[in-house]
Amino acid sequence: MTPELLAFIMFGVTIVILILGFPVALSLAGSAILFAFIGDQLDLFRFAFLNLSPTRIFSTMKNEPLVAVPLFVYMGVVLQRSDIAGQLLESMGQLFGKMRGGLGYSVVIVGALLAASTGIVGATVVTMGLMSLPVMLKAGYNPKVASGIICASGTLGQIIPPSIVLVLLASILQGVNEEAAALIGNLAPDPVTAIDLFAGALIPGLLLVGLYLGWVFILTIIRPDDVPSMKDESVHAPTFGTLLKAVLPPLILIVLVLGSILAGIATPTESAAVGAIGAMVLAWQSKKLNFALFRDVGLETVKVSSMVFLIIIGAGLFSTVFKGFGGDDVIAEFLRHLPGGAFSALLLVMLLMFFLGFFLDFIEIIYVVVPIVGPILIALGYDPLWLGVMIAINLQTSFLTPPFGFALFYLRGVAPKDFKTSDLYAGVLPFIAIQILALALLWTFPSLVTWLPDLLF
């Protein structure tokens, strides 16, 4: 047996373990340690190589950009628990409700605002599912259309900054870019930061919002009965003051967090701290801030952040062993000699990530797959910033894809009991097509990603 073969056996076994539902962090770390021991016994790997792991774990925990993760999680949980999202949905629904397709427009707009405020997909989908799905069904919306709009809008938190996905991607792409530079003999590569990735993802995120709104508009023309206006006479357009009170708080938070990052005033970590404090102020203003909320938000933040960092540590161990077996060299040679060159290599990697997105969370894919395939793709000539945005949108698409899309599970969990899962699956298909269209546009016009970072920085 060769070490390369053992590397791919380890990869396959790990995927099977994850699909069976074992805890992700323990599965990654456990399989890495197990196969490192097997490799040591077969004289294919030196187990002592893992002695460096504690140092890597310590450097991970000291990584300042990753401190933004618990702060952004805290901000998102506060906004979710303080009912700011509910007030925003209610006001937007009243504003657009009398218009054909109005509820669809309002859900997409609120999804975008929540994405730019919280960046947590599960929280957004669940919140909008609880509040808007019953209203849309009562108004006469086709269940397929209603569920598709909610799921797609909820996943915007994957790509619209400030996004936890982009923070984690940036932390990986920096090292990947340095490895790629070493492969081609570039000793001083340009850094890839979360700020760059935020700026690069902004226009693609807004492009997706525009495409979603465009699809709702097309439905009002080709299938108007699927997206009716609200006929409830008790629904009145909100007053300017009411609308301002609902929309202004998240807008202020977006400007404070995202504006300070893009303007170069603050780092993502600093702006995340401002966002966390700002979310608490908004909760206090809405009279939702109390000890119970403070305690629940703290516990939820610790749970989510611990999960993220444990996965990062486990994935680091996995990557170390996989590369120690030489698996990354085999993949690099395979991608480099594919017919069709760089195009085929990227297409194959994107298809692999899309497939893995059915079964694995985005964190595992980012920390397991990207370090392996990223260096060779960048060495083949792809811009690391553009590649990061393409990966983020690809993972967002996998969140929507039946039968295992995570957004589908979130909405199914809060939908009425008589709501058909088949309607949910059928409803997201047009939005999957929109996602693929967006990827094709970004592939054809890379400047959609690179223009704003070049302009700002």
**In this structure, what token pair is assigned to residue 335?**
């991608």
Grouping H, G, I as helix, E, B as strand and the rest as coil, residue 9 is helix
Distance CA 424, CA 433 (A): 15
Tell the residue number behind the tokens 């790509």, with chain if given.
Answer: 159
Two structure tokens written together for 401: 């894809």
pLDDT of residue 99: 79
Distance CA 249, CA 246 (A): 7
**pLDDT category of residue 109 using cuts at 50, 70 and 90:** confident
Residue 97 pLDDT: 64
Closest CA to 406 of 364, 362, 442: 362
Burial 270-279 (b: 16+ CB within 10 A, else e): bbbbbbbebb
Among left, alpha and beta (phi > 0; psi -120 to 50; other), residue 264 is left
CA distances from 214 to 29, 59, 125, 417, 429 (A): 45, 45, 20, 31, 15
- Residue 431's SS3 state is helix
Q: Which of 20-29, 132-141, 435-444 has the highest mean pLDDT?
A: 435-444
Amino acid at 169: L
Cis amide leading into 403 (omega within 30): yes
> How is residue 223 annotated by DSSP?
-
pLDDT, tens digit (0-9, with 9 covering 90-100), for 132-160: 788 788 888 888 898 899 888 888 888 88
- CA 191 – CA 173 distance, rounded (Å): 9
pLDDT band of 359, cuts 50, 70, 90? low
DSSP 255: I
Query: Rounded to whole angstroms, how far apart are CA atoms 59 and 63?
Result: 6
Placement of tokens 């949108």 in the chain: 393
CB 327 within 8 A of CB 8: yes
CB count, 10 Å around CB of 62?
Answer: 9
pLDDT band of 373, cuts 50, 70, 90:
confident
Burial of 417 (0-12, 13-18, 19+ CB in 10 A): exposed
Q: Tokens standing for 145? A: 């259309």
Q: Apex CA 369: angle with CA 318 and CA 70, to 5°?
A: 80
Put simply, whether the predicted model's pTM sits higher than 0.85 gets the answer no
**CB contact at 8 A, 389 and 169:** no
Nearest Cα neighbor of 372 from 332, 422, 432, 419 is 332
Whether the per-residue pLDDT at 10 is higher than 80: the answer is yes
For residue 162, cis peptide bond before it (omega within 30 degrees of 0): yes
Burial of 418 (0-12, 13-18, 19+ CB in 10 A): exposed
Q: How far is CA 94 from the centre of its chain?
A: 29
Which residue type sits at 410? Answer: Y
Predicted confidence at residue 353, as pLDDT, reads 85
- Separation of alpha carbons 92 and 107, rounded Å: 8
User: What are 168-203's pLDDT values in tens digits?
Assistant: 888 888 888 888 887 777 666 777 888 888 889 999
Residue type (1 letter), 40? D
Indicate if the alpha-carbon torsion angle 295, 297, 303, 306 is positive or negative.
Answer: negative
Average pLDDT over residues 90-115: 79
Q: Are 246 and 87 in contact (CB under 8 A)?
A: yes
Dihedral of the alpha carbons of 4, 7, 11, 13, in degrees to the nearest 10? 110
Per the listing, tokens 């590369």 go with 323
How high is the pLDDT of residue 435?
Answer: 93
